[in-house]
Amino acid sequence: MIATSDDSWPRSAAPAIRGQLRTRPEDFEVEEQLPFELAGQGEHAWLRIRKRGVNTDRVAQALARAAGVPRRAVGYAGMKDRHAVAIQWFSVHLPGREAPAWDGLGAEIEVLEAARHTRKLQTGALSGNRFVITLRECVGDRAGFTQRLETVRQGVPNYFGEQRFGRDSANVERARAMFAGEAIRDRHLHGIYLSAARAFLFNEVLARRVADGTWNTPLDGEAFILDGSRSYFLDDGTDATLPQRFALGDIHPSGPLWGKGEPPTRGLARALEQEIAARHTELAAGLVRADLRQERRALRVIPRELAADWLDDATLQLRFALPPGSYATAVMRELADYRDVAAKV
C-alpha cells in the first residue's frame, strides 16, 4: 500500500510546533468566494449554505430531494470536508419553477442566502477559499513558529491534500487496479480514481523538488504558470522581468497533471518529470489511455492574508485565503506537526 498521508512527502522546513487539528468541526472553517455577482434571474436557484459535519454530496442529495429534481441538476464548485464547518455555494436547475422553501434539509444544513442565476455552478468556478483553522494542545517553540510564519508568507509546496487519495491511499490503489483492467462502472468513481492518479504523480514530482530545494526556484527548462491561472509558458531567455515576477508571486514553477502528449518542459525540468512518470508507468500510461491531456499546476502556493493569533497558551488560530484547488493542509503542515483527530473518524 502506498502511503499518501500528509507525512508522506517532505516539507520545505521542519515546523517548530505541534498540536491537534479538528478536534471539533468548528476548528476547521472554510468559506467559498465567488468571482462574480449573481444575475438575480434565470433558470438556476443558487444557494449559499452553511454545513456542519456533513459532506458536500450529502447536501447536494438533500437539495435534489427538496426540489424534486435529479441529482445531476445540482451543481457545486468543489468538495468540502465532512469534518468541518463550510460555507459553500450550490445551484439547482429549476427552469420555469419557483424554488421550494428548502425545508427539511437537515439540522446541519442551513441556507444563508438564495438567488437566481442564468447558469449552473461549475466545478472550480471560485476565486478562492477563506479559512479559519484552530490548532489545539499546541507545544513547541513559539518564537520559532513566528519565524516560520514569516517564511510561509512567501509560499509553500502546493501539494494535493490527502483527501484526494482516500483513506489509506485507496483511491490510488483503485486507479492502479482500474488501469490493470478492473471494470469501474460508476462514472463518478472512475473520475475520482483518475484524479487521484494525476494528483499522486504531481505530488511525487513536487516531493522530489522539495527534497532537492528547487520547488521554489526555477529549473532549466521550467514551465512557468501564471498565478491563479492554468496558463503557462516557457522561459525563452528574453524576458528580463521574470525574476521580479517570480519574487512577487505573479508566476510560479509548475508540475505536470499527467496525460497524453509530451510535457512542455525542457532540460532538467523535463528529465525530472519523465523520471517520475517512468517510476510509476502504470499510472502515467493509464492516464494517457484515459485520453486526458497534459495540464499544469503551480508547485508553489502563496497564502494570502495569513494571520495567526494565540487564543491561549495552547490554542492557535490561523486565518488565510487560498486560490481554488489548493489545500489548507498544505499550509498547515508547513506551520505545525499536527495530528488530525478527525482523520480516522
Judge whether 266 lies within some domain: yes
Grid-cell match 508540475, residue found = 255
Which pLDDT does position 127 carry in this prediction?
92
Say whether 257 sits in a helix, a strand or coil: strand
| 109 in the same domain as 224 | no
Of residues 241 and 166, more confidently modeled: 241
81 catalytically annotated = yes
pLDDT above 50: residue 4? no
| 174 in the same domain as 43 | no
| 297 in the same domain as 163 | yes
Arithmetic mean of pLDDT, 297-306? 97
Which pLDDT does position 344 carry in this prediction?
60
Residues in the chain: 345
DSSP codes joined into one string, 82-136: SSSEEEEEEEEE-TT--------S-TTEEEEEEEEESSPPPTT--SEEEEEEEEE
| 218 in the same domain as 185 | yes
pLDDT above 60: residue 103? yes
| 332 in the same domain as 286 | no
- pLDDT band for position 279 (50/70/90)? very high
Closest CA to 262 of 236, 234, 293, 290: 293
pLDDT above 80: residue 225? yes
Alpha carbon of 233 to those of 111, 219, 287, 295: distances in Å? 42, 13, 23, 12
Judge whether 148 lies within some domain: yes
Domain CATH number, residue 164: 3.30.2340.10
Judge whether 2 lies within some domain: no
| 60 in the same domain as 132 | no
| 265 in the same domain as 328 | no
| 220 in the same domain as 105 | no
Arithmetic mean of pLDDT, 88-116? 95
| 101 in the same domain as 172 | no
Judge whether 74 lies within some domain: yes
Arithmetic mean of pLDDT, 76-92? 94
Looking at the 3D structure of the chain, how many domains does it have? 3
- pLDDT band for position 235 (50/70/90)? confident
pLDDT above 60: residue 1? no
pTM of the model: 0.91
Arithmetic mean of pLDDT, 40-68? 96
Domain end: 286, 301, 316, which one? Answer: 301
Q: Provide the grid cell at 80.
A: 468540502
| 132 in the same domain as 188 | no
Q: Name the active-site residue from 6, 27, 81, 340.
A: 81
Judge whether 181 lies within some domain: yes
What is the per-residue pLDDT across 179-208, written as a single tens digit (0 to 9) for each? 999 998 888 899 999 999 999 999 999 999
Arithmetic mean of pLDDT, 326-331? 95
pLDDT above 90: residue 2? no
Judge whether 89 lies within some domain: yes
What is the per-residue pLDDT across 136-183, written as a single tens digit (0 to 9) for each? 999 999 999 999 999 999 999 999 998 888 877 899 999 999 999 999
| 144 in the same domain as 241 | no
| 290 in the same domain as 199 | yes
Give Cα 336 to chain centroid, integer Å.
19
For the ranges 25-39, 81-95, 235-249, 289-303, the lowest mean pLDDT is seen at 235-249
For the ranges 145-149, 226-230, 310-314, 328-332, the lowest mean pLDDT is seen at 226-230
Domain CATH number, residue 138: 3.30.2350.20
What range defines the domain where residue 318 resides? Answer: 13-30+127-154+304-345
Say whether 255 sits in a helix, a strand or coil: strand
Mean residue pLDDT across the chain: 93
